Amino acid sequence: MAARRISSLLSRSIPLLPRRGQKSYLGRGIYQYSTAAAFEDPIKPPVDVEYNKLLINGQFVDAASGKTFPTLDPRTGEVITHVAEGDAEDINRAVASARKAFDEGPWPKMTAYERTKIMLRFADLVEKHNDEIAALETWDNGKLYEQSAEIEVPMFVRLFRYYAGWADKIHGLTIPADGPYHVQTLHEPIGVAGQIIPWNFPLLMFAWKVGPALACGNTVVLKTAEQTPLSALLVAKLFHEAGLPPGVLNVVSGFGPTAGAALCSHMDVDKLAFTGSTDTGKVVLELSAKSNLKPVTLELGGKSPFIVCEDADVDKAVELAHFALFFNQGQCCCAGSRTFVHEKVYDEFLEKAKARALKRSVGDPFRAGIEQGPQIDAEQFQKILKYIRSGTESGATLETGGDRLGTKGYYVQPTVFSDVKDDMLIAKDEIFGPVQTILKYKELDEVIRRANMTRYGLAAGVFTQNLDTANTLTRALKVGTVWINSFDTFDATIPFGGYKMSGQGREKGEYSLKNYLQVKAVVTALKNPAWL
């Protein structure tokens, strides 16, 4: 598979089929949100939780404190299992393991081709366990099983194969100098990388961070989100089955103020990478500065504009804008959460966007034909409902949705607001939920100014048939990614990151390797050289 696009889920609502001879366990039934108050009982996931401890130095161990915390099923709010709760002492153990593996172990010292082979074996194992990993991800996160099994796990595999291919292609340069010198640069692994991943895409963020770090010869301490600790432990176990030496990859589950802060402040961590909210990103930077000034890569929040131009095919624009916002229950940092529509097509677009939201099927993400599962947890659920109330109170028109769905779990009705103004909280803040805000504009210069009038700069979508309009917007929008007549196209080769307060640095693609390498200049004096 040369590439995987998350946007291949667009307009797809096919039933899930048994995979590789397995018996189908998925139920049937589609519920429009307006009639789905009484859900059927949740489907029992076809997977058991085998790993719920910390992974340090190649072994699953209890937290030093002996503490555990519950991880919940978003469909019901019920406990899936209890997971070891790492804190500062466990971070110390994990960093010591990673440091020893880097300074004394075989990983940075083995040939790059040997690292490639281990990473490829790992990708093969993940591919073999696709359905098990996908089911665990859906159970712990609430995202659609189809999305996990057909998009995200294959994309995870693709990313690791991509980075495996880079391992033996990392090299420095030979540089001419003014004088009798031989000058070369070495691209060296940076050392121990501390990485903190979010809950909305646990598997993909594991791949975005661990893949390039290990390809470059580093060792890793990975702190998972407390909401979704399970899939990282499973795939890390498979990595060791593939031949990864002990200590190269350590996984600590725990909370930000304890485990996360300890990792960011640790004097023996050489690099940090964080994906999450902008406010937490500021804390990560501060802790790095107060400790050893370790370099930091940040992929943070967004409030991305999706601009529908006057020449747009409205039906196609409605469908793409719907996908850009509602994908992954709206829990996506680059979601097209400000839908700017030209006044000439605004009324038609609004009616069709409302109708599309009313058709959206919400329910158990393990059930065939469902388009939207639950939000991640009670905190996010209540946050979304609070923003919806803010929208109505500030004068926006609630076209549809606006409330919880059902009585169990964290389901929110697909919600559409019209008559939205730029100064409303629903147009300024990152809601991270299934809430579409539709704004009207008149002129191209106007929409450029308004689209850029935000502290964020992660991504943007543009829907137009005019090449000049597309080119104008591409260069004018202050964002890290612009999708033209598409959205959420995430190939392994395409760099991703933000402008302004959406972060610093780039992930994926060749650009991501720079995050995990040091450049050393080596200058050797030449005696009577034949040439310079």
User: Cα(105)–Cα(99) distance, rounded to whole angstroms?
Assistant: 9
Task: Identify the three-state secondary structure at position 412.
Answer: strand
Kindly report the backbone phi and psi dihedral angles of residue 41, in degrees, each rounded to the nearest multiple of 5, phi listed first.
-60, 140
Distance CA 464, CA 485 (A): 7
Residues 6+ apart with CB under 8 A from 152: 134, 137, 143, 201, 203, 204
Cα 236 to Cα 123, 189, 247: the distances in Å are: 11, 21, 11
Residues 6+ apart with CB under 8 A from 66: none
Residue 430 appears among annotated catalytic residues: no
The alpha carbon dihedral of 89, 278, 229, 163 has a sign of negative
Nearest to 155 by CA among 496, 515, 457, 514: 496
For residue 79, what is the enclosing H or E element? strand 78-84
**Residue 431 to residue 429: CA distance in whole angstroms:** 6
Q: 374 vs 76, 269, 272, 410, CA distance in Å? A: 9, 36, 31, 5
Q: Which entry of 299, 371, 430, 507 is annotated as an active-site residue?
A: 299
CB neighbours of 249 closer than 8 A, spacing ≥ 6? 55, 210, 214, 219, 220, 222, 236, 239, 240
Sheet holding 459-463, edge to edge: 397-400, 415-418, 435-441, 338-342, 305-308, 459-463, 481-484
What distance in Å separates the CA atoms of residue 498 and residue 334, rounded to the nearest whole number? 10
Distance in angstroms between the alpha carbons of the first and the last residue of the chain: 46
Cα 29 to its chain centre, rounded Å, is 29
Q: What is the DSSP code string of 179-202? A: SSEEEEEEEEE--EEEEE--SSSH
| Neighbouring residues of 505: CB distance < 8 A, sequence distance ≥ 6 | 273, 296, 297, 298, 299, 497, 515
Contact 19/130 with Cβ under 8 angstroms? yes
Catalytically active residues are: 299
